[in-house]
């Protein structure tokens, strides 16, 4: 593993000290993870530009990175083949690295957790790379609906596992943020879907409806996966069912459109985790696919395949 500091926030002399310290931290956080495929950790001077340049060099079709709804982005794992070997590189925002040297102890603990989260992705990518073939993930030999569902399910599993594998560095700040993110997304999706259905009834543009629905629910699934990645190990540690925090989550979700989907996601992710990494193929995600479809149905948008055509019904 090579650590590359392109950031200008540190002098060359400081970088000589930071590199071994960051390497020691990473190895410590990854003690129970498989990071054999991690080739580099890069701290860029320009986060987005250097990520896209790296993706272009390695012929990645999807370029860029996910950002939070506030426009922030702090970490990105990129998979690629280096001399035919499966390889991975982590990009960490320079603000992450600088924050590790903050006098704010709570901030430092949060950053440590986020770094471990990215290492969880590295571990998971190593195993799922051999399970989820590129042809299946890119939609070959699957229906259009199956592809739409498994695209979400793949991301849900990935975020769930990354949080579950970094559970022991979880802070109260991050847990509270995960709760608030789910709450905000349930409210946001509820409001947006009304607009989408009105637009669809006016213009009958099914492609626009599908794209809007996917984008709108994407962050809901993303943050829900984060929260479930924390709740399940919390539940197992307590050993007596729901604790006070999970009861608060249940209260939040009950009597919303998301209640059934949440229950199905919880069950599907737990079943996947129990078998992991001994999966057969991408069809292991079928139970999770059903949870995604249930969410869309409960929002009043129904999709079904008839022969090779995708049909939509709005209620």
Is the omega angle on the peptide bond into residue 277 within 30 degrees of 0, that is, cis?
A: yes
Cβ–Cβ < 8 Å for 237, 122: no
Backbone φ and ψ for 8, nearest 5 degrees, come out as -100, 10
pLDDT of residue 72: 67
Three-class SS of residue 39?
strand
The angle, 0 to 180 degrees and rounded to 10, between the axes of the packed helices 172-203 and 244-253 is 10
- Residues 269-294, buried b or exposed e (16+ Cβ, 10 A)? beebbeebeebeebebbebbbbbbbb
* pTM of the shown model: 0.94
Token couple for 160: 């769930």
What gap in Å lies between CA 184 and CA 162, rounded to an integer?
22
pLDDT tens, residue order, the chain (315 aa): 999 999 999 999 999 999 999 999 999 999 999 999 999 999 999 999 999 999 999 988 888 887 766 556 789 999 998 877 899 999 999 998 999 999 999 999 999 999 999 999 999 999 998 777 666 656 566 788 998 999 999 999 999 999 999 999 999 999 999 999 999 999 999 999 999 999 999 999 999 999 999 999 999 999 999 999 999 999 988 765 567 888 899 999 998 999 999 999 999 999 999 999 999 877 899 999 999 999 999 999 999 999 888 999 998
Instruction: Spell out the alpha helix ranges (H) of the chain.
Output: 12-29, 47-57, 94-99, 105-128, 134-137, 144-164, 172-203, 206-238, 244-253, 259-275, 286-298
* Residue 214: both structure tokens together: 């996917």
Specify the pLDDT at position 138.
63
């Amino acid at each position: 593993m090579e650590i590359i500091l392109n950031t200008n926030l540190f002098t060359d002399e400081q970088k000589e000290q930071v590199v071994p310290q960051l390497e020691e931290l990473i190895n410590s956080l990854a003690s129970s993870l498989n990071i054999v495929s991690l080739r580099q950790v890069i701290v860029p001077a320009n986060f987005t530009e250097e990520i896209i340049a790296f993706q272009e060099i390695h012929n990645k079709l999807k370029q860029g990175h996910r950002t939070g709804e506030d426009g922030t982005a702090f970490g990105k794992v990129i998979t690629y083949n280096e001399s035919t070997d499966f390889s991975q590189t982590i990009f960490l925002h320079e603000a992450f690295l600088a924050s590790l040297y903050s006098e704010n102890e709570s901030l430092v603990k949060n950053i440590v957790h986020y770094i471990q989260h990215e290492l969880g992705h590295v571990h998971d990518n190593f195993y799922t790379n051999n399970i989820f073939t590129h042809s299946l993930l890119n939609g070959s030999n699957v229906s259009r609906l199956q592809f739409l569902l498994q695209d979400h399910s793949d991301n849900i599993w990935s975020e769930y596992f990354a949080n579950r594998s970094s559970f022991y560095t979880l802070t109260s700040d991050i847990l509270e943020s995960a709760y608030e993110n789910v709450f905000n997304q349930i409210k946001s999706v509820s409001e947006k879907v009304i607009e989408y259905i009105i637009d669809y009834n006016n213009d009958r543009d099914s492609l626009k409806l599908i794209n809007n629905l996917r984008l709108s629910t994407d962050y809901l699934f993303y943050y829900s996966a984060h929260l479930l990645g924390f709740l399940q190990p919390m539940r197992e540690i307590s050993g007596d069912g729901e604790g006070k925090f999970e009861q608060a989550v249940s209260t939040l979700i009950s009597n919303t459109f998301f209640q059934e989907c949440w229950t199905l996601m919880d069950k599907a992710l737990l079943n996947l985790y129990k078998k992991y990494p001994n999966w057969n193929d991408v069809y292991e995600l079928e139970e999770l696919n059903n949870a995604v479809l249930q969410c869309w149905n409960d929002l009043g948008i129904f999709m079904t395949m008839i022969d090779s055509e995708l049909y939509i019904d709005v209620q």
